[in-house]
A and B are shown apart, each in its own frame.
Chain A
Amino acid sequence: MIQQPLPRRRFLKLFATAGAVATAASLAFKMGGTSDSEQLHITHSEQFGSLLAFNEAQANTLYALAQTFVSNPINTSQFIALVKRLDEEMHFVPQDISDNFKLALDFLEYLPMAYGQFSRLSRMPIQARTAFIVPLQGSSIEAVRLAVSGCRMLVFICYYSQDASWDSIGYDGPHSKIPEKLSPQRLHYQALTQPGMPSTNTRQVMK
């Protein structure tokens, strides 16, 4: 368990060690974990359908983070839509940005292990997950602060871009009230992720 702040180091350099952390976490996971949360996790994975940027593990981590960040009560389909939309965005942004974001997800997924929590983030009950993540947003460890902050910002931008979120915050929507006009890229993503289309990221969830 970490008693002292880790030395400050560059975000990406620290993330480069995520593989080692993941390996250790995987080993530990075999010794623990909750069957209830795992069942929930698998169910969500099936609902994501085809993904172009994220693998299933990253999608699950993102889903878990979104549940933590957004306390506004929303249903599962809205969280799934949020994950899908960020998958779409990450498919079209430059590789550098997409890689950084996915690295942040990988890092946060296994971060609880470094703090003595014998579970991956996505498998923690939501109360425990919230209790773990909230204090980290102002962490003195640069890499932790950046990972949480980066994911937090994109989740909120994505969530509050959705029409379904507007009523709850008193936003009256676009000034013109015109319907959405999907770009060629958005239509392309929809076509590529139709049911039956394979994900381009097929890496298996580590179990």
Chain B
Amino acid sequence: MNIETKKERVYEAADYQDGASYDTQVCIIGSGCGGATLAKRLTDFGVNVIVLEQGSYVPASKMDQRELNMMGKLYGERGMGTASDESTQVLHGNNVGGASVHYWADSYRTPQDKLDSWQRDYGLKGHDVSDLNPAFDEIEKSLNIHQAPDHLFNTLNKKVRSASQSLSWHGHRVPQARKHCASSGHCMQGCLYDAKQSQMVTHIPTAIEQGARVFANARAGKLVSQGGTVKQVRVDIMDPVSNRAAGRTMTINAQVVVVAAGGFNSSYYLLQQGMKRQLPALGKYFSMNPSTMVHSMFEEDIIQWRNIPAAWGIDEYRQRRYQQGQYSEGGYLLMPSQLQPALLAGTLPGMGQQHQEWMQDAPKIGGTIAWMDDIEDELGEIRLKSNGAREVYYPYGEKTQKVLKDSVIKQVTLNFEMGAKKVLVAGAQAIELTSINQMKKLDDLQLTSAGLFLAAPHPGGGCRMGSDAKNSVVGFDHRVHGWNNLFVADSSVFPSSSSLDPSLTIMAFSYIAADRIMESLNGVHKKSAGDR
């Protein structure tokens, strides 16, 4: 099939000819918040763009709201990947639109304290609030981002809001990227109603309309380069039936190549290219917002699996607090949890009779989640295993463990304030409390290696942005140190954890990356420190 530049759809495996070669100005590897937004922005400027996505195209017509089915269709490693501790579930997208298709639609601007830290502690330039605000303004409008209205508060959200107010814990309505939400509660299974404003229904179609070619089932392989300039991207066509390489290839000839494969995979991809020697920081400074969970049982029906996941967030403890230089509390955002029954059962501790006693009253189960802001000097690393697989190494250091434990204590407090009759900490020990007075049971809480059941859906770092190639991977122009036309545009460039859901920050960063790429295409190219 001859692939034209003006097709109003996503191309899939059956469309490709073995050995085909395509020319473009910019080849973007990855179609999530980073890649799709960049494609949209570059095509705003009339740039010829090809987007490569190794996963499939899964529009609403292919969704069925069943958990395991949709994990297989939308999630990297079918949702079964873990970090090196073997018990932190790493969640990312493997489909056109990336993780934005299964995320909760929380859409925060980057907190000012985080931007301040990135500038003060990491010397970040060109990404301050005045640079980002125009992008935030435009994206919020195009994705219909607005504070959660009352009718999107389910019973659990109402309880969390009420409890936070009675505890005097500061909270807020969570900004949502939605339009005409059907309140199905299936955000994590993809939105059958196209109400969630994922990249698949916003920036991807806009980019295609403006001339971008989006290739699904197309896995970027070797980068062919000469003298610090990438000339070609070799592409393996993926067989969507076997979920393996189909044995057919394509070649993309591009003036600029942008890696936007997401926080778990961009640094992994560059490691696969053999760049570690040149870029010692590659894969390092990795964050993932490890998240603890607490389940709770109520007298009345909660039905946590309907309406939106998080309408109310508690930011009282988002920043860590210290007394006399010692950590005292905080360092996480608290939210209601929303799980359909399968993931609820998976994260609900215990087995046999104990587990069944909880699950038989599943409609009465509520709970909360705490998104931890990663400790800057205990970050993880994306590594390349000897067999070529990716390792998500995360040390769970001493300081991290203190924050995790405090997040559990605060969640137990919150859930009892919400009126729970019993509370169950999501972890192997299956610690159950029937009263706030039993908090001592948490003294011996195991925190690592399945001691807590953790999830990690917000990866960042691995291609940290900075001025020095010794401790960063890309410059402030998003260009990989030492390379003339290789860029990174996703959360992997973050200097540290984004603290909150990173989607809007990633998109705004892509606006800035687009400006720098335009300068590169127009020959306005300044070599940054660390260039060869």
Contact = CB atoms under 8 A, between A and B. Distances in A.
Please indicate whether A and B come from the same complex rather than being unrelated chains. yes
Interface of A: 11, 68-72, 85, 89, 92-97, 100, 130, 133-134, 137-139, 142, 145-146, 148-150, 152-154, 156-161, 165-166, 168-171, 174-176, 178-188
Interface stretch (B238-246, B281-289, B398-406, B478-486): B238-246
Interface residues of B, number: 59
Contacts of A142: 449
Main secondary structure of the interface of A (DSSP, over half): helix
A146 B82 CA distance: 12
B80 interface: yes
B69 A183 contact: yes
Q: Which of A68, A85, A145, A186 has the most CB of B within 10 A?
A: A145
B319 interface: no
A94 B346 CA distance: 20
B185 A175 contact: yes
Main secondary structure of the interface of B (DSSP, over half): loop
Contacts of A150: 82, 86-87, 450
Interface of B: 62-69, 72-73, 77-78, 80-82, 86-87, 182, 184-186, 192, 240-243, 305-306, 341-353, 355-356, 359-363, 385, 387, 389, 428-430, 446, 449-451, 453
17 contacts: A11-B86, A11-B449, A89-B78, A92-B72, A94-B81, A137-B428, A150-B86, A157-B342, A159-B342, A160-B345, A170-B362, A174-B65, A174-B186, A175-B185, A178-B64, A181-B64, A187-B241
A71 B352 contact: yes
Contact of A185 (B80, B241, B346, B355): B241
Contact of A146 (B73, B77, B87, B389): B87
Contact of B351 (A69, A100, A139): A69
A169 B347 CA distance: 16
Given A134-B352, A161-B67, A174-B186, 17 more contacts: A71-B356, A92-B72, A93-B78, A94-B77, A142-B449, A145-B450, A146-B86, A157-B345, A157-B346, A158-B342, A160-B67, A169-B359, A169-B360, A169-B363, A171-B362, A180-B66, A185-B240
A176 B356 contact: no
A185 to B, nearest CB: 6
B339 to A, nearest CB: 10
Nearest to A185: B243
Contacts of A158: 68, 342
A55 to B, nearest CB: 20
Contacts of B86: 11, 100, 146, 150
A28 B245 CA distance: 44
B391 to A, nearest CB: 9
B87 A92 contact: no
